[in-house]
Amino acid sequence: MPVHKAGSSVVEVFLPSTYATAVPYDLLARLRRDSPVCWVPEPAIGPWRAGPGYWAVFGHTEVKRVLRSPGDFSSHLGGTQIRDPDTPADLAFVQDMMLNMDPPDHSRLRRIVAAAFTPRAVRGLERTIAERAAALFAPGECDFVEVAADLPVWTLAHVMGVPAQDNRLLYDWASRVIGYQDADYVGLSTAAVESLTPMGRLAVASRPELRPGENPRSRAALADMFAYAHALAETPVDGESVMSAMRNGGLTEAEFENMFFLFAVAGNETLRNGIPGGLLTLLQHPDQLARLRDDPALLDSAIEEMLRFWPPVIHFRRTATRDLTVLGRPIRAGEKVVVYHAAANRDPSSFPDPDRFDIARTPNDHVSFGFGPHFCLGAHLARAQFRAIFSELLSWDVELAGAPSRLTSNFQNGLKHLPVRLRRR
């Protein structure tokens, strides 16, 4: 087993409890400076058994190298989560997900659904998204996390052809997957069963019981989502939907199920994390919020800075395909390599004064949407929803109405609650 020299605190970057109060940017900065590629142990956590450990990569240049080089750093061999799948069958299952594929299989699946996410396709949705965002807010106090979650759920349902009655299922599925390390999210079920469609009620009846910490990325753990996916794919719709394109695009059954998972969860989590995180960042930097109000033309660059400063995803994993070295560290074939977006986005060699929040920062080469062949397929759609939300919020005075509450997760950089008070300007 490799030996690291970064001190015992290095394990803190792995522990979910570390992130319950904040991303440990001081620790990430120290590791990036002193040991930019280092070995991190994986102790057991509750039902999550101990793992073999992994190489953590913190520097911006090295993170981009890993992400753009699937021939050396595979998404397929072990998946893209630090945690190894529990069984060989679970590994085989997640390997059928586009997120966990390498070219050329990844390229084949990406082509099937890419048309729904081109800039042209997103422009066709922008007015509808803006209208939805404008209807979200009302004077008084609210939990911004809950209110803002409506837009990505509604948008995904619109793109996927999910009936409006079933929208809340997308929220619950994403909560279960992104929050499985947090006791508040493991068994979250907010959909009103009596208001669901018959296929929605079928999904609820198929929902498994999960324990805190239990891996939600297995066929058994996602039985309800997949029951719904198959029923939705067989539902007649006017015109060609993303679901029918996936179903008729030559995907295997497992590929189809995993593509639905990717839409329902990955298309949801980035915005559920990033939009509330962006607002909290603005509220914590009132000079920048005032600057944005004075010059709304800065909104696009402000969104990029929000994404850099509050990356919705903290890290992603790859697996070395051969023996190689990164910054002089010998990495063996089969070892895990985990890139930390949160560290790369504050690398002073790429971002001058990286801990300063600057809504006019340019250039802004953040990696919050990834890099290389797995660059986020929905980045255009995500940015459109950011613009819709924050364009609307510029018409409101917003202030904190209570303490924010963070999601306990070493993977998702999210908030569970963000109490705010709104007043129309």
The per-residue pLDDT for 240 is 58
Whether 68 and 371 have beta carbons less than 8 Å apart is answered as yes
Whether 368 and 312 have beta carbons less than 8 Å apart is answered as yes
User: Alpha carbon of 290 to those of 260, 283, 294, 300, 356: distances in Å?
Assistant: 40, 10, 6, 15, 16
Does the pTM surpass 0.85? The reply is: yes
The per-residue pLDDT for 221 is 86
Distance separating alpha carbons of residues 74 and 389, to the nearest angstrom? 36
pLDDT single digits (tens) 217-260: 888 888 899 899 888 888 766 555 666 666 676 777 777 888 88
The per-residue pLDDT for 20 is 93
Ramachandran angles phi, psi of 191, nearest 5°: -70, 130
pLDDT single digits (tens) 26-37: 999 999 999 999
Which residue from 137, 23, 73 is spatially nearest to 388, judged by alpha carbons?
137
The per-residue pLDDT for 1 is 46
- Alpha helix stretches (DSSP H) within 193-266: 198-205, 223-233, 242-247, 253-261
- CATH number of 8-424: 3.90.1210.10, 3.40.50.10490, 3.40.50.720, 1.10.630.10? 1.10.630.10
| List of the chain residues with pLDDT < 50 | 1-6
